[in-house]
Structure 1
Amino acid sequence: MSDAIYDLERGDGPLVISMPHCGTALAPGLAGRLTDEALTLRDTDWHIPRLYGFAGRYGATLLSARYSRYVVDLNRPSSGESLYPGQATTGLCPDILFDGTPLYRDGQAPGPEEVAERVERYWRPYHEALEAELARVKERHGFALLYDAHSIRSQVPRLFDGRLPDLNLGTARRTSADPALIAAVVASMERAAAAEGLTCVADGRFVGGHITRCYGRPADGVHALQMELSQDRYMDEEAPPFAYRPDRAERLQRVLAAVLDAFTGWRPAQG
């Protein structure tokens, strides 16, 4: 394991939780090339490891990135192709923030060679670790459950209209997991969200990124889901220091627990 690139906490259950956008470290020399706005790391999936701090009760394996998505986006394919053709998004090594403002100072964006170097140094080790953990839990349990954990500001006009639902489940349009598993998770999410006065959607604006689409292979025993959360439901999303808000997070955590209850309570059909 490369401790410099990610943190890994192994559990004994079939659940693997990937947190590819929670990192805040920057590659050497990168800070001096970024705009002042980019240096706030606004587009980070803030506090995701803390929010899912209850996941140990599921025997979950936790894989979390240390480096910022501004170094390289671990939820994009290494080829750099768009996950949402025709829609606004950000790239493998983004040069703009979610709202479209520049990430780099003039003339400081990375060229193709630097992008390739970042893929080898930061992207590939994370994905090798993820593949290895999925293989490990599948060998032990006969199947693996991958939950890709994300968050985003509740309103980003460049990416979506209006306010994002509080919980956004992505299933690669019902292809990344067994249909019965997806149905059980969606039903549990909807019930729990309604009880807590929160909103939710399945396969809305976010249907799942590279990790969900690449590793979700139900025919091979790997079932993947992505969860994108509106950040104002558990933190102060508007300005640094982007503080965690336990008073808000508690309701959301109850819904997330219901989602993970349904996810981890499922078992493949026998025979």
Structure 2
Amino acid sequence: MYHPSSPSSITPQTETTTGLEENARRVAELEAQLVHSARLVTVGQLAAGFAHEINNPLTSILGYAYQVRKAVADDSPIARDMDVIISQAQRISRMTRHLLDFSRPDPGCKSSCEIHHVLNQALDLLKYRMKTIEVKREYDPRVPPIPASASQLEQVFLNLFLNAIEAMPGGGTLTIRTGLVHGAGSDLVRIAISDTGQGIPPEHLNNIFRPFFTTRDEGGTGLGLYISHNIIHNHAGSIVVESTVGVGSTFTILLPAGNPRQDTDYCEP
């Protein structure tokens, strides 16, 4: 006998409805993330424009500051004040110049790249976010220059550093280790970035390099690690993560220390 209210008669429809609702929810989330990503692109363009506009008055400030400094005696209190003004203006100039360099389109050109220099540049850009974080640089002096796009690797390091900062809202330790790994075919450069933050739940580890995957309630696009993974892959390298909840996370990057091409200045086709 047929009973309309029996579970067997409504289960397929219920499952279909649930699936449609889940798909609709996921589509809405992706649309919101795309809108947020587009807004971040606009913010980046505005920041680059601001950096360009601030360079002109900054050049004038530095020019007049140099003239005043030359006109006063070295033991004058004014001289000490002018040294501070010049030093801070030069700092602003370096930051704006670096921001402009980072915002320019990158055609993917590879050249001889000093990994430690790129790491330090990325750390300098985020220094203002690290007031409660201890940064440890454990650089291996044996690490050679590698053929790579410095601006693309800097983007990877910025993404990883920002994730570490977000994972340590109350402060902590950020450790960057580099080393040379001797492989059977060729040497590899290893960069390990560790934090003492909240850690990543085990159920999320397999998804963190997927596009639009994020564990943040707000502010995250879910694209940083996805883009980082693609950049490292395009450099014939690898990136993996180890994490323990409540202890912290370590992202380890391996990049070829050499390239079979004789030239070190070329662009990817």
Shorter chain as denominator, the TM-score bin is under 0.3
Larger Rg belongs to: 2
Question: Which structure is higher in strand share?
Answer: 2
Higher relative contact order by CA 8 Å / sep ≥ 6: 1 or 2?
1
TM-score (normalised: structure 2): 0.24
**Counting helix residues as a fraction of each chain, which structure ranks higher?**
2
Q: Calculate the TM-score normalised by the size of structure 1.
A: 0.24
